[in-house]
Chains A and B, each alone.
Chain A
Amino acid sequence: MTGPVPSKVEAPSRPADEDDALWREGFKAGVPSLFGIAAWGLVVGVAMIKSGLTLTQALGMTLLVFGGSAQLASLPLIVANAPIWVIFATALTVNLRFVIFSALLAPHFAHLPWPKRLLLGYTSGDMTVALFLQRFPDEAPALGKVSYLKGLLYPNWTAWQVGSIAGIFLGSAVPEQWGLGFAGSLAILCILVPMVLGSAALSGVLVASATAVLAYNFPFKLGLLAAVVLGMLTSMLVQGAIDKRKSHVRS
């Protein structure tokens, strides 16, 4: 495997992907975020049960989906009996930010076999991507990149699942009247706030919110899709106007 490649004289052998010291470094970098991840999992776990999922369904969801914001977004739609394609489209939209992350992260690992890439990509959430890119801003091969990523990933995944499963059991034990399901909406609010710092994003979100409320009774939850499309277009128009004004000022 690591022998010289005669056809590519210039390419030196790639530094090893795995390195114990880098694994520990990744682990240390991720530790401060683990408590928050577990708490976030706990809220999602409670919200799943409070939306009427059974214990098995909730466990299946947390283990298979592993995406807090998409899970939370799907719950009110499941309660409202929305068509499955609408729930899928919504989750896909909520997850679109991951496409940007994957474009940033993937070139570091393009040399790995595809099943490994699929799995590493699948489990790389917001925090993992941010911390990895802080340590390795450069796409060039470097020692122990895979180890560093795993050092972030495994504890992150574990903390999330432990929190989530604890939430599932906590949610089952707490009476409905406590209204704990609302914690899910508050959690979404916390992810949303940093996304809307900026007038373009904020105007889109205001338009989307107003549309979603006014069109709430549309059949098949189509009001939701209308809200996303109108909100996104608003954001892009405002962004376009801002960019135009900036280039005016500069010239």
Chain B
Amino acid sequence: MSDLEIWITILALACATGLTRSSFWLIGHHITIPPRVQQMLRYAPACALAAIIAPDLLLDERNAMAISLLNPKMMAAVVATAYYLLRRSMIETIILGMAVFTGLRIWLQ
């Protein structure tokens, strides 16, 4: 991306923040969101986040499927998920995940 394209992207992202966080603030009065819509609003973000990281965790450099015990990113993610479920600490989870990722990567070289 060119410098200009990146800046347009940044402005688009700023709009995405404003449109969502300020949405009901600007409407003002109390509105009850229908349960169906509330479900969509709740489930969509998790799906988007999963769709962003899944290829990073499960594909190799040539974009081929790499579901294997020797895939450093996948193994780091498995360990990190388990640890986060137990301890609920983001910082510790990231440090542990990076340690597994780096260790496995160096060991495999």
Contacts and interface: CB of A to CB of B under 8 A. Distances in A.
- A-B complex: 6 closest residue pairs judged by Cβ atoms: A231-B47, A121-B22, A121-B25, A212-B51, A209-B54, A227-B51
Interface string A86-106: 011011111111111111011
A interface secondary structure, majority: helix
Interface of B: 1, 3, 5-31, 33, 36, 38-59, 63, 65, 73, 76-77, 80-81, 84-85, 90-91, 93-94, 97-98, 101-102, 105
Contacts of A118: 18, 22, 25-26
Contacts of B24: 99, 102-103, 105-107, 121
Given A100-B42, A179-B101, A186 B80 contact: yes
B97 A78 contact: no
A67 B63 CA distance: 29
Contacts of A94: 45, 48-49
Interface string A197-233: 0001100110111111100110000011001100110
A251 to B, nearest CB: 19
A153 to B, nearest CB: 12
A172 interface: no
A241 to B, nearest CB: 13
A125 B17 CA distance: 10
A117 B101 CA distance: 43
Nearest to B98: A183
A229 B1 CA distance: 27
A174 to B, nearest CB: 12
Contact of B40 (A40, A114, A124, A236): A236
Contacts of A84: 5, 8-9, 12
Given A78-B6, A188-B49, A101 B28 contact: no
A30 B7 CA distance: 32
A6 to B, nearest CB: 23
B63 A216 contact: yes
